[in-house]
Amino acid sequence: MSKIIKVKFLPSGKVAQVPAGNSILQSALTAGVKIESTCGGKGTCGKCKVQVSLENLLPNTSIEKEFLSEAELAAGWVLACQQQLFENTTVTLKEQKDVFKRKLGFEENIAVVSPASGITKSFLSLSPPSTENQMPDWETLLSALGHTEIPFNRSVAAYLPKVLREGKFQVTVVMDEEDALLAVEVGDTSSQLYGLAIDIGTTTIVAYLMDLNTGSVLASGAATNPQNVFGADVISRIVHVTDNDNGLQQLQEKLIHGLNEVISALCHDVGISRNEIYRTVAVGNTTMSHLFLGIDPTYLAPAPFVPVFRQAVQVEAGELRLNTLNTGKVSVLPNVSGYVGSDTVGVMLAAGVDRLQGINLIIDIGTNGEVILVGKDRILTCSTAAGPAFEGAEIKSGMRAAEGAIEGVTISDDVQLKVIGETKPRGICGSGLIDAVSEMYKAGIIDASGRLGKKDQSRDRLSDKLGRRLRETDGGREFVLVWGSDSDSGEDIVLSQKDIRELQLAKGAIMAGARILLRDMGVSPQEIDRVMLAGAFGNYINRESAREIGLLPSLPIERIEAIGNAAGHGAKMALLSCEERVRADTLSRRAEHIELSVRAEFQKEFVESLSFGRKV
Amino acid sequence: MSKIIKVKFLPSGKVAQVPAGNSILQSALTAGVKIESTCGGKGTCGKCKVQVSLENLLPNTSIEKEFLSEAELAAGWVLACQQQLFENTTVTLKEQKDVFKRKLGFEENIAVVSPASGITKSFLSLSPPSTENQMPDWETLLSALGHTEIPFNRSVAAYLPKVLREGKFQVTVVMDEEDALLAVEVGDTSSQLYGLAIDIGTTTIVAYLMDLNTGSVLASGAATNPQNVFGADVISRIVHVTDNDNGLQQLQEKLIHGLNEVISALCHDVGISRNEIYRTVAVGNTTMSHLFLGIDPTYLAPAPFVPVFRQAVQVEAGELRLNTLNTGKVSVLPNVSGYVGSDTVGVMLAAGVDRLQGINLIIDIGTNGEVILVGKDRILTCSTAAGPAFEGAEIKSGMRAAEGAIEGVTISDDVQLKVIGETKPRGICGSGLIDAVSEMYKAGIIDASGRLGKKDQSRDRLSDKLGRRLRETDGGREFVLVWGSDSDSGEDIVLSQKDIRELQLAKGAIMAGARILLRDMGVSPQEIDRVMLAGAFGNYINRESAREIGLLPSLPIERIEAIGNAAGHGAKMALLSCEERVRADTLSRRAEHIELSVRAEFQKEFVESLSFGRKV
């Protein structure tokens, strides 16, 4: 048996007992301490930088030497995934800010539905039993409802006698559109009727608490998907499930825990009880739908990429341990295929794809990039492995769109920045990255192939200030966006050649997908009447920059519009309306899934889509 | 905050940490140590006798002095419910045997049904998915079943991909009669199809593991209902729920835990996995049905005695944490009323009351005594508070029908005994009690009113040996059945005047109930064509003795028959046949419940039924 050691984390004071030889990252996971890591411990992201008390430190690995400066190494900074612990150790974590200060989504251009959620409340005055009328409580309730065929609900029956007597036989019954009895409440509570719409992103989870009587959003909240400790992308998470016996349970628990924290905060803000949330509608990519429901996603990873299910699924909240009414309903909207999930169906609902005129290209940019082409009475969809570059992962100085993130870049004779929260910059997020690369391309710092110019060859073309920012390092060329003197950490914030390549791969994949859908429908890019950018990210993107680097087709700018967090909006619509849930089913079946991996022409389209410059 | 003390129990070595002031009984409950107690700690049964290490002992209470001899008190014996503990203490428990050596039930005269349980297995050869056929696993399964409307089962879907691939897409699907998918298994398992019938008695739980393909009982097992630590009768248990916030949960958990131990033993004996038990059918009195399902029984105790539900209820085994297939079905048969439960409906099924000719009186003697009168196209039922006397509780030397129990008594010039296991007697069980009292009545030791004769006045009528057995004590008169020299404990085994009164109350209540049903149907006792005794107890009862003391009507002995554990047999029939489950519903609705508590004549009938001698 291996030795067990104690690992104490500061400043939280949490302690993990783990087998000797576990990494700091694994120990943090056991202790319930959050350390950012987007590669899941593979040693490829360099994000899990922590400072360790100096006793018991192992020699630094080559991976640590790659990601950390000598000064950092000297000061005891290490990568949490690289350092194995063999003795009792105290680990001091560098503070990691993760605040969402940007407003989530603006939701013009999105359909509004009137509330007809199917959840109804009935206030009843019942006749108490007597020796002459020994009717069981359940039957007393059903006969007052005039409805004797309602299925027995054990969980409601369990507390029914107490509620009936506490309410002196004046109670409110909550039912859904299928005559399922969800709750019985003391007195008349018919004015309180709440529901929850959730959008489970690989990187970010968003929840909206809604009033089902009025249809209004009472509060919304977001958080990092806590599954990110197992890797930034869906494949890392599926691999974690496949490789670990309790991996599926771990990932489901992480997600539910994260959602529950958001739900508790929303309930607290609005001043309601979790037990007043009667229905939840969730959307997410197909992997997230599986993990949310605790269903093995293993075979989504290898070809032929099959999910376990794709239809809409409804379960009881208690089954998932979701912090809403235990007997409330949780509906996950239908998926289209293994990589076109219910989030895309949510986008289709929100964009009203079954009512659109002309040719419409919808791009939902997240960790995966889903593309929908609507026209000629068809709905074509595909998913592209955009990777997490647009969410700041796999980018050396990348970060999520949180305080301190560079979100806009202008380059003239020097670099001007727009930073979230107007603080000293800490890194760069997706919209900043697109801006930066577009500006660098226009300024001639990179060429159409994406190559950073050599420092000496660029001297003539660039201003002194810009020229100084271009430099060669052991890791290749890089461009300094922010000098250490101006940054939050005191270190330079740079874009490396590798970062630019990551962006190229991401945007190339999306554009190649779009081009294949256009070809399948038999329309040219110029025939597109409207491009819609979905996703919170779409709201912040500079459309000109995106068009400049060829992430979007070269169309007049007024044909390109952001439609906000359309996936989340679709979830809200489905929460508010039974009809919209039926419509979601219809759309998921109507959508034709184009599997890019089997298309011979994909590679050619992909390579052609890699270069910069406006594309047709 | 009160001080916390440690209480260690020997010989198990289990330790409880409890607040100072807790009784030994409460501490044992916390430690998970079983101490027999039939009054639930009220100090009325004297059964919770334990020996304590002598430090820290409190002065004995008057209740202890009533139940324990001076020698016992001197040796450190106490009542666990009376002794509060204020310091760390070691408690040594006297060994308590609780072995069921008697065969459970003989089941002649009981209907046999052919197996058509509704649970079916289908072996399928599926087409694996391919890049050309990316069909989700769930749809692959459903399309092979030719049945696309099967409801999605999240729990089965969770493991479906593993099973499909482990079985190389050769799997067996388990479904019920409502097209619910219960399980998917690797390979062809269609020859293995099991179910469980359980009879949840207040005192004893019995389970039968059955082969649903052949209809045979593969194994059966019984155990004491572990809820007995909260009291011997249903009222004590309901009071425990009403008085304790977590009382309902405690009682449900105790019961489920007890059932799970029996189920594990059955699975082990037969060599199957719990996951091969696809359906469970349970019967029990209405309180037990509520507690089994975790439904608040509070309002069964006060008038008007209303249950929460009376219809048949079906839930998933996992909801109850029952040790069968989690996604398997558990059906509780319907109840008739608050005190005529699904166990009585089981008796009706087994006795085939809807097919009986003539007038039939069925008596199920347990902790409650349920009476069914069938005739003139009617089924009348009532429940009588027989109390636990027939199960050996509330009787000074009473015990359950286990090894060492006196089960038969003959009195001529002295007392002859029949003891279960042919060992030294430890106490007397119900059938022994009826025999003893009947023999004592015939021998003139007690008169028709139930009074034990005075020692001096009886001297002439009784043999010397019998005369010596009659004695006066501070607690009243008593009759020595076994002298200490012949008993297991070395102490005399006696029947006290109070014991005889308990028996009179029990048999008087049953007979009064029967007489009211007879009157309601307009038939006289002599018109009864058949009396059926249900319950394991009915098998062992001496029919002449029972008739002699007036527990049964005075009819020719051939009209009286035992039908075994009819409630359990009814559960088995319902397990084996969907039709029998439908029939149970019909019978529960056809049965007319006669509420004795509102009948003015009940008191008169009861008083008239108390005396001994053959009754008409």
CA distance to partner chain B, nearest, from residue A240 (Å): 15
What's the confidence (pLDDT) of residue A615? 62
Q: Give A483's contacts (C-beta < 8 A, 6+ positions apart).
A: A492
* Chain B nearest-CA residue for A248: B158
Q: Give CA separation, B388 vs B130, B366, B451, in Å.
A: 66, 7, 21
DSSP codes, A162-224: HHHHHTTTEEEEEE-TT--EEEEEES--TT--EEEEEEE-SSEEEEEEEETTT--EEEEEEEE
Cα–Cα dist A313/A333, whole Å: 7
CA distance to partner chain A, nearest, from residue B408 (Å): 41
What's the confidence (pLDDT) of residue B615? 61
* Chain A nearest-CA residue for B290: A158
Contacts of A126 in chain B (CB under 8 A): none
Question: Residue A597, Cβ neighbours under 10 Å: how many?
Answer: 13
Tokens of B606: 């009861």
* Chain B nearest-CA residue for A164: B308
**With an 8 Å Cβ cutoff, are A296 and B160 in contact?**
yes
Q: Would you list which residues of chain A are within 8 Å, Cβ to Cβ, of chain B?
A: 129-131, 133-139, 152, 154, 157-162, 165, 248, 293-296, 298-299, 303-311, 313, 315, 319, 337-338, 593, 595, 597-598
Tokens of B361: 């009186």
Closest Cβ–Cβ partner in A133, A154, A160 for B319 = A154
What's the confidence (pLDDT) of residue B98? 33
Task: Show the beta-strand stretches assigned E in B412-474.
Answer: 415-419, 427-428, 470-473
The answer to whether the beta carbons of residues A116 and A579 sit under 8 Å apart is: yes
Cα–Cα dist B436/B415, whole Å: 9
Tokens of A172: 């409110």
Contacts of B157 in chain A (CB under 8 A): 293, 295, 308-309
Residue predicted with more confidence, B325 or A104: B325
What's the confidence (pLDDT) of residue A77? 77
**With an 8 Å Cβ cutoff, are B295 and A157 in contact?**
yes
* Chain A nearest-CA residue for B314: A152
**Nearest Cα to B141, choosing from B116, B118, B175?**
B175
pLDDT above 50 (res B430) = yes
DSSP H helices, B244-374, are: 247-270, 286-293, 317-320, 342-351
φ/ψ (deg, to 5) at B531: -110, 125
**With an 8 Å Cβ cutoff, are A309 and B138 in contact?**
yes
**pLDDT grade for B475, boundaries at 50, 70 and 90:** confident
Closest Cβ–Cβ partner in A134, A305, A311 for B306 = A134
Give percent above pLDDT 70 in chain B.
93
What's the confidence (pLDDT) of residue A40? 66
Cα–Cα dist A194/A277, whole Å: 5
In the sheet where A369-375 sits, what is the strand order? A560-562, A530-534, A360-365, A369-375, A378-384, A592-593
Contacts of A330 in chain B (CB under 8 A): none
φ/ψ (deg, to 5) at B360: -130, 125
φ/ψ (deg, to 5) at A612: -90, 170
Where in the sequence of chain A do the CATH 3.30.420.40 domains occur?
356-388+503-609
**pLDDT grade for B103, boundaries at 50, 70 and 90:** very low
Does the structural domain A194-332 have CATH classification 3.40.50.300? no
Cα–Cα dist A315/A381, whole Å: 27
Closest Cβ–Cβ partner in B135, B152, B299 for A306 = B135
Cα–Cα dist A396/A436, whole Å: 14
Cα–Cα dist A406/A398, whole Å: 9
Where in the sequence of chain A do the CATH 3.30.420.480 domains occur?
194-332
What's the confidence (pLDDT) of residue B566? 92
Going by their DSSP bridges, the two strands B592-593 and A181-186 should be labelled as unpaired
Contacts of B137 in chain A (CB under 8 A): 299, 306-309
**With an 8 Å Cβ cutoff, are A304 and B161 in contact?**
no
Closest Cβ–Cβ partner in B132, B248, B307 for A136 = B307
The answer to whether the beta carbons of residues A115 and A281 sit under 8 Å apart is: no
CA distance to partner chain A, nearest, from residue B141 (Å): 10
* Chain B nearest-CA residue for A158: B295
Q: Give CA separation, B326 vs A450, B123, B183, B332, in Å.
A: 57, 21, 9, 16
Where in the sequence of chain B do the CATH 3.30.420.40 domains occur?
355-388+503-609
* Chain A nearest-CA residue for B133: A304
pLDDT above 50 (res B516) = yes
pLDDT, tens only, A49-58: 777 664 566 7
Q: What's the distance, CA A501 to chain centroid?
A: 23
- Residue to test with chain B: of A154, A336, A383, most B Cβ within 10 A: A154
Structural fold of domain B120-186: Ubiquitin-like (UB roll) (3.10.20)
pLDDT, tens only, B266-275: 999 999 999 9
Question: Residue A149, Cβ neighbours under 10 Å: how many?
Answer: 6
Give the residue ranges of chain A where pLDDT is below 70.
Answer: 1-2, 11, 32, 36-40, 52-57, 94-114, 387, 459, 615-616
What average pLDDT does range B274-287 have in this prediction? 97
What's the confidence (pLDDT) of residue A116? 87
Tokens of B330: 């558990």
Question: Residue A64, Cβ neighbours under 10 Å: how many?
Answer: 21
CA distance to partner chain A, nearest, from residue B246 (Å): 13
Tokens of B302: 């006060």
**With an 8 Å Cβ cutoff, are B299 and A130 in contact?**
no
CA distance to partner chain B, nearest, from residue A189 (Å): 23
pLDDT above 50 (res B105) = no
Tokens of A16: 């993990």
Q: Would you list which residues of chain B are within 8 Å, Cβ to Cβ, of chain A?
A: 129-139, 152, 154, 157-162, 165, 248, 293-296, 298-299, 303-311, 313, 315, 319, 337-338, 593, 595, 597-598
Please give the angle made by the CA atoms of B557, B563 and B565, to the nearest 5 degrees: 140
Contacts of B127 in chain A (CB under 8 A): none
**With an 8 Å Cβ cutoff, are A308 and B135 in contact?**
no
Closest Cβ–Cβ partner in B134, B294, B319 for A304 = B134
Mean of the per-residue pLDDT values of chain B: 88
First to last CA, chain A: 63
What's the confidence (pLDDT) of residue B110? 47
What's the confidence (pLDDT) of residue B99? 28
Percentage helix, strand, coil, to 5, in chain A? 35, 25, 40
The answer to whether the beta carbons of residues B545 and B613 sit under 8 Å apart is: no
**With an 8 Å Cβ cutoff, are B129 and A304 in contact?**
yes
Does the structural domain B4-92 have CATH classification 3.10.20.30? yes
CA distance to partner chain A, nearest, from residue B295 (Å): 4
Question: Residue A146, Cβ neighbours under 10 Å: how many?
Answer: 7
Question: Residue B458, Cβ neighbours under 10 Å: how many?
Answer: 17
Q: What's the distance, CA A474 to chain centroid?
A: 35
What's the confidence (pLDDT) of residue B76? 74
**Nearest Cα to A491, choosing from A98, A224, A94?**
A94
In the sheet where B329-332 sits, what is the strand order? B217-224, B204-211, B194-200, B277-284, B329-332, B313-316
The answer to whether the beta carbons of residues A320 and A294 sit under 8 Å apart is: yes
Q: Give CA separation, B499 vs B450, B477, B607, B613, in Å.
A: 10, 11, 18, 18
User: Before A129, cis peptide (omega within 30)?
Assistant: no
The amino acid present at A267, given as its one-letter code, is: C
- Residue to test with chain B: of A245, A295, A332, A595, most B Cβ within 10 A: A295
* Chain A nearest-CA residue for B593: A134
Three-class secondary structure assignment of B25-87? HHHHHHHCCCCCCCCCCCCCCCCCEEEECCCCCCCCCHHHHHHCCHHHHHCCEEECCCCECCC
**Nearest Cα to B256, choosing from B305, B307, B221, B293?**
B293
CA distance to partner chain A, nearest, from residue B283 (Å): 17
**With an 8 Å Cβ cutoff, are B313 and A152 in contact?**
yes
**Nearest Cα to B308, choosing from B293, B296, B324, B322?**
B296
Contacts of A129 in chain B (CB under 8 A): 304, 306
Burial class (CB within 10 angstroms; exposed 0-12, middle 13-18, buried 19+) of B361:
buried
Helix (H, G, I), strand (E, B) or coil at A130: coil
Global confidence as pTM: 0.79
CB–CB contacts below 8 A, A to B? 123
Cα–Cα dist A60/A80, whole Å: 11
Q: What is the largest CA-CA distance in chain B?
A: 103
Where in the sequence of chain B do the CATH 3.10.20.880 domains occur?
120-186
Cα–Cα dist A526/B127, whole Å: 43
Class of domain B355-388+503-609: alpha beta
DSSP codes, B473-522: ETTEEEEEEE-GGGSSSSSPEEEEHHHHHHHHHHHHHHHHHHHHHHHHHT
Where in the sequence of chain B do the CATH 3.10.20.30 domains occur?
4-92
CA distance to partner chain A, nearest, from residue B308 (Å): 5
CA distance to partner chain B, nearest, from residue A560 (Å): 33
User: Before B304, cis peptide (omega within 30)?
Assistant: yes
Closest Cβ–Cβ partner in B131, B162, B597 for A598 = B131
Does the structural domain A356-388+503-609 have CATH classification 3.30.420.40? yes
* Chain B nearest-CA residue for A339: B134
Rg, chain B, Cα only: 27
- Residue to test with chain A: of B308, B314, B321, most A Cβ within 10 A: B308
First to last CA, chain B: 64
**With an 8 Å Cβ cutoff, are A296 and B337 in contact?**
no
Residue predicted with more confidence, B385 or A235: A235
